[in-house]
């Protein structure tokens, strides 16, 4: 995660082009798709801007903690989980009966453990998570274009095999909100998150003698400049993502998710070249079947993903960071391909990525979110070791 | 890779994706308003302990409680 203020001039041509694209797509979706789909698209744009301006990622911060015990990013993620839970639990606990929203509940089982572990490895090899891949691709990083392409292929393969993984041992879904009641479950959840926060802080202090703070304040004269052009303090990112996730819950009816759309895009492309994904178990009934046979613009997750890419592109152009020059080595291409496949396959098996399963699951009170966190982090440790083995990173204890 | 090359590659990829979306949108029928809302609102509401869609037979669209279609497969 970066901390410097953006000093490069805005890319005005890109800002104008993307702004017109956002306006045009919003109007088109409003006209041609029913419901509140255009609002979902605009929420996606907001998420893309927030992710990009706050440089809010999961892969790099997990790696920083595993390698150097720098817990700033992980503590920001725990704050995000806590604030999102505070916003979600009353809504999902039917405190406001007029808001009809569903939780991100999924089964606790073998598929989640295996999927999250593979996803954790993929995060370190591919260079991004679900949200990170989208926003860095929107920023114009060519290597992430490769990761995203194979993310889509992996997710599509995952849909072909999911029914087999679901036949392995599992418990079923567990909602702590239904089990304990919303405020008791919230209290329990906040205690667990606070304990984890304390543990991360302790390990950080033990290594460095101090903690790397999650920034909050910036000098007053810089506020407008930083709001438009970045770089945002990490706390702004935490609050922005939590509020926009709540907006997603209210508008779309379920928490923010990303990777369902990747499988859908892959299945549609497979159908376009003559394949028959409709004959696969996954796509043969329910919402998957319906979305496969409808316009991609009717799928809320897809529309939000398009918004995230364009929002990140807009933010990158405003910060003068769009399409950075880069060196694309053979190793980087290999890790982008492998990482992308693991990310996609893992996300399908794990019922979502770091956003849909980790943030959405935990903030919805679903036990599978916690299981995903443990298995995903173990995968992250394996991924960090693989990076050392592939000589992408130096061995532990040696500065990068 | 220089910045200009990067811009061309990313621009081409986004344009190709936009064309693919346009083709898909014109080829597919739009869902009926009521149906779309119902399925997306109820994608993942499942009672605790209840058999999940696909839990045993891989069916991602099996009907569950409240007469809604629920599916963690849509996460």
Helices (H), A127-233: 130-138, 142-165, 176-180, 182-208, 223-229
Render pLDDT for A187-210 as a digit per residue (tens, 0 to 9). Answer: 999 999 999 999 999 999 999 999
> Using CA atoms, how far apart are residues A79 and A317, in angstroms rounded to an integer?
28
Instruction: Say what the pLDDT of residue A218 is.
Output: 86
Inter-chain contact A106–B48, Cβ cutoff 8 Å? no
Render pLDDT for A241-265 as a digit per residue (tens, 0 to 9). Answer: 999 999 999 999 999 999 999 999 9
Nearest C-alpha of chain B: how many angstroms from A193?
Answer: 23
**Domain assignment present for A397:** no
Residues from chain B contacting residue A185 (CB–CB below 8 Å): none
Residues from chain B contacting residue A317 (CB–CB below 8 Å): none
Nearest C-alpha of chain A: how many angstroms from B6?
Answer: 6
pLDDT tens digits in sequence order for chain A, 400 residues long: 444 455 678 889 999 999 999 999 999 999 988 778 999 999 999 999 999 999 999 999 999 999 999 999 999 999 999 999 999 999 999 999 888 889 999 999 999 999 999 999 999 999 999 899 999 988 889 999 999 999 999 999 999 999 999 999 998 899 999 999 999 999 999 999 999 999 999 999 999 999 999 988 888 888 999 999 989 999 999 999 999 999 999 999 999 999 999 999 999 999 999 999 999 999 998 899 999 999 999 999 999 999 999 999 999 999 999 888 788 899 999 999 999 999 999 999 999 999 999 999 999 999 999 999 999 999 999 999 999 999 999 998 776 6
Statement: residue B4 has pLDDT above 90? no
Nearest C-alpha of chain B: how many angstroms from A142?
Answer: 6
Inter-chain contact B44–A254, Cβ cutoff 8 Å? yes
Percent of chain B with pLDDT over 70: 43
CB A282 within 8 A of CB A288: yes
Residues sharing a CB contact under 8 Å with residue A213, sequence separation 6 or more, in sequence order? A72
pTM: predicted TM-score of the whole model, two decimal places: 0.90
Interface test with chain A among B56, B71, B74, by most A beta carbons within 10 Å: B74
Q: Does B44 contact chain A (CB < 8 Å)?
A: yes
In chain B, the residue whose alpha carbon lies closest to the alpha carbon of A255 is B75
Rg (CA), chain B: 20
Q: Does B16 contact chain A (CB < 8 Å)?
A: no
CB A51 within 8 A of CB A218: no
Confidence of residue B37 (pLDDT cuts 50, 70, 90): very low
CB A45 within 8 A of CB A307: yes
Chains A–B, number of C-beta pairs less than 8 Å apart: 190
Instruction: Say what the pLDDT of residue B50 is.
Output: 47
Who among B1, B28, B59 is closest to A326 (CB)?
B1
**Domain assignment present for A399:** no
Spatial CA neighbour of A355 closest among A59, A9, A38: A59
Where in chain B are the domains?
Answer: 1-30, 31-75
Residues from chain A contacting residue B57 (CB–CB below 8 Å): 163
DSSP run (H or E) holding B58:
none
Nearest C-alpha of chain B: how many angstroms from A264?
Answer: 10
Q: Does B64 contact chain A (CB < 8 Å)?
A: no
> Is the ipTM here above 0.90?
no
Inter-chain contact B52–A300, Cβ cutoff 8 Å? no
Confidence of residue B58 (pLDDT cuts 50, 70, 90): very low
Instruction: Say what the pLDDT of residue B32 is.
Output: 59
Residue with tokens 């995000």: A80
**Domain assignment present for A345:** yes
Q: How many domains does chain A have?
A: 1
Percent of chain A with pLDDT over 90: 85
In chain B, the residue whose alpha carbon lies closest to the alpha carbon of A300 is B40
Residues sharing a CB contact under 8 Å with residue B29, sequence separation 6 or more, in sequence order? A293, A294, A295
Give CB contacts under 8 A, 24+ apart, made by A201-210.
A201/A71, A201/A75, A203/A69, A203/A71, A204/A69, A204/A70, A204/A71, A206/A69, A207/A68, A207/A69, A208/A69, A208/A70
Who among A100, A325, A352 is closest to B1 (CB)?
A325
Instruction: Say what the pLDDT of residue B54 is.
Output: 42
Upstream peptide bond of A7 is cis (omega within 30 degrees of 0) = no
Determine the 3-state secondary structure of A73 from DSSP. helix
Domain that holds residue A135: 12-389
């Amino acid at each position: 995660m970066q901390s410097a203020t953006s000093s490069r001039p805005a890319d005005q041509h890109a800002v104008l082009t993307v702004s017109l694209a956002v306006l045009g797509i919003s109007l088109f979706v409003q006209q041609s798709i029913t419901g509140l789909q255009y609002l979902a698209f605009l929420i996606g744009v907001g998420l893309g801007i927030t992710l990009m301006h706050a440089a809010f990622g999961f892969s790099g911060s997990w790696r920083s903690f595993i390698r150097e015990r720098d817990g700033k990013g992980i503590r920001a993620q725990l704050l995000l989980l806590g604030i999102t839970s505070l916003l979600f639990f009353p809504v999902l606990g039917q405190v406001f009966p007029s808001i009809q929203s569903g939780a991100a509940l999924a089964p606790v089982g073998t598929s989640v453990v295996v999927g999250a572990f593979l996803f954790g490895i993929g995060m370190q090899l591919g260079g991004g998570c679900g949200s990170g891949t989208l926003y860095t691709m929107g920023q114009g990083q060519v290597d992430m274009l490769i990761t995203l392409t194979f993310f889509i292929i992996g997710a599509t393969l995952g849909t072909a095999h999911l029914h087999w993984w679901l036949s392995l041992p599992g418990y079923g879904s567990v909602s702590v909100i239904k089990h304990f009641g919303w405020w008791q479950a919230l209290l329990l959840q906040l205690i667990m998150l606070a304990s984890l926060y304390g543990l991360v802080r302790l390990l950080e202090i033990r290594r460095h003698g101090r903690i790397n703070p999650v920034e909050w304040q910036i000098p007053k004269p810089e506020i407008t400049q930083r709001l438009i052009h970045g770089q945002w303090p990490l706390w702004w990112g935490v609050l922005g993502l939590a509020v926009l996730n709540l907006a997603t819950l209210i508008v779309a009816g379920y928490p923010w998710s990303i990777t369902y759309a990747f499988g859908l895009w892959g299945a549609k492309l497979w159908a376009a070249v003559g394949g028959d994904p409709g004959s696969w178990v996954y796509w043969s009934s329910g919402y998957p079947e319906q979305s496969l046979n409808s316009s991609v613009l009717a799928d809320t997750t897809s529309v939000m993903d398009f918004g995230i890419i364009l929002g990140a592109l807009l933010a990158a152009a405003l910060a003068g960071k769009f399409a950075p020059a880069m060196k694309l080595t053979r190793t980087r291409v290999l890790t982008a391909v492998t990482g992308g496949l693991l990310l996609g396959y893992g996300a399908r098996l794990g019922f979502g990525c770091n956003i849909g399963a980790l943030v959405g699951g935990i903030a919805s009170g679903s036990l599978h979110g916690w299981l995903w966190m443990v298995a995903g982090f173990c995968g992250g440790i394996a991924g960090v070791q693989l990076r050392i083995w592939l000589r992408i990173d130096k061995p532990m204890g040696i500065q990068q | 890779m220089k910045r200009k090359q990067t811009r061309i590659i990313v621009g081409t990829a986004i344009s190709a994706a936009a064309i693919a979306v346009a083709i898909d949108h014109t080829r597919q029928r739009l869902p009926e308003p009521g149906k779309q809302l119902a399925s997306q609102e109820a994608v993942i509401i499942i009672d605790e302990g209840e058999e999940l869609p696909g839990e045993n037979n891989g069916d991602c669209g099996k009907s569950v409680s409240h007469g809604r279609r629920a599916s963690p497969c849509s996460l």
